Structure 1
Amino acid sequence: MLSAELTISSKNYSSWSLRGWLLCKMAGLEFTEVVAPPDEKNRKELLLLSPSVLVPRLTHGVVTVWDTLAIAEYMHEWNPSAGLLPYDQAARAHCRAVSGEMHSGFQNMRSALPMNIRTRYQSFKIFSGARPDVERIKEIWTECLNHYGGPWLFGQTPTIADAMFAPVCSRFVTYAVELDPQLKAYCDHIFAWPLMQEWIAGAEAEPAEMVELEVEF
């Protein structure tokens, strides 16, 4: 069996680490977690690990993959039976499209609502520039849940899209984003996911004080 290591950062703050970790777990890959704290003294180490300075970074035998969507596709190819992408061709294309939109977009939402799993606000004013991002995410979720029947975005089993949007569920819960019952049920379903519960437990166990980089990581 090939050895595998997944380099991640803070479980409380790092949305990209969560995505990569979920994808590897969903594919059934056994891996060792390597934690690179997100402070300035580790920037050089992160640069050596990943040309993009971002985590996660997967090392699987002689293969090295550092972009989250690349990890998703690699895990799908490694274990197609895991169902990371839907079986139906049209649904697969749809799943890739919304996952890619999450991967490359929503910059204002990311800046306005950084992931912080341990924190909860009773109310939070979202600045106007981020509101279209929030509304677009709600639109994506509603379309997927209505079309594929839930409880996951593409039906009865989790896919790459759920891994990509899981940190957004965390953000919406942290910042008390108002959701209709269908979308709240989806967020609740993500939070009840055993893999998400495992990650949250790790976030809660982290030291309370941690220096953040000035980029999403």
Structure 2
Amino acid sequence: MELVIGTKRWSTWTLRPWLVLKRTGEPFTETLIQLRQQDGATEAAIRPHSPSGLIPLLKDGDVAIWDSLAICEYLAERFPQAKLWPADPAARALGRAAAAEMHSGFASLRGECPMALEDQPKSVEISDLTQANVRRIVRLWNDLLTRFGGPYLLGEWSIADAYYTPVATRFRTYSIHPSDYGDAGAAGAYAERLLEQPDFLEWERAAQAGV
């Protein structure tokens, strides 16, 4: 298997399937594309790999998958022993809904507070729309943590947690505290838990080394 990813300091889209692929325990080749190059160099580097012109992209034999959520679903089916989704249909559906909401939503938070793993925490003023995004995320986290008892959104770690790991990095980088948005402690502890995961720490070390 080969996973084509972007610069680790910035690429939330490629962090998510990378975390999921690591959870399978399967060996894979990591192909890194430097993002934010000038004069179309990034697009030119991606084009030989991806029919959509976008990354991440997973190559598995003659199969090439170019969407992060599709990659994660493929890995869940390809490696059922990794238990990337829970067996319970209701839990699985709620987890998929949470991941899909992140996949297509929260544009204001993503735009105002991009992932920047090279940055030290800093205080910023965020817009009303971004604050609404944060409130929704905190409420979603608390609802799922309460329903399934933690320590992760669906109990055990799942694809849904991979999808919200970049959010936890944003909260840390921009000093966004869940307790300011209706959290009594569970969501904040969950965000910290995501950032303590060994696979994320491996990614972060590479990011801080300039990868």
TM-score range, shorter chain: over 0.9
| Secondary structure of 1:53 counterpart | coil
Match of 1:66 in 2: 66
- Aligned position for 2:189: 185
User: What displacement does 1:101 show?
Assistant: 0.7
Partner Cα separation in structure 1 for residue 140 and residue 52 of structure 2: 28
Matched pairs, number: 203
CA distance in 2, matches of 1:101, 1:51: 25
* Residue aligned with 1:8, SS: strand
Matched, 1:21 2:22: no
Identical counterparts, % of pairs? 39
The equivalent of 1:133 in structure 2 is 133
Question: For each residue in 1:174-201, what CA deviation from the matched residue of structure 2 results, as whole angstroms up to 9, or x when unmatched?
Answer: 0000123211111111111000110111
Give the deviation of 1:110 after TM superposition: 0.4
Query: Counterparts of 1:163 and 1:55 in 2: how far apart (Å)?
Result: 17
The AA in structure 2 aligned to 1:200 is: E
Deviation at 1:47, TM superposition (A): 3.1
Match of 1:30 in 2: 27
RMSD of Structure 2 on Structure 1 (CA): 1.3
How far is the alpha carbon of 1:131 from its aligned partner? 1.5
Corresponding position of 1:197: 201
Q: Which runs of 4+ in 1 moved over 4 A?
A: none
- Indicate the structure whose relative CO is greater, using CA pairs within 8 Å and at least 6 residues apart: 1
SS at match of 2:195: helix
Instruction: Report deviation, 1:55.
Output: 1.6
* Amino acid in structure 1 at the alignment position of 2:160: A
Partner of residue 166, structure 2: 167
Unaligned runs of 5+ in 2: 180-184
Gaps of 5+ in 1: 208-217
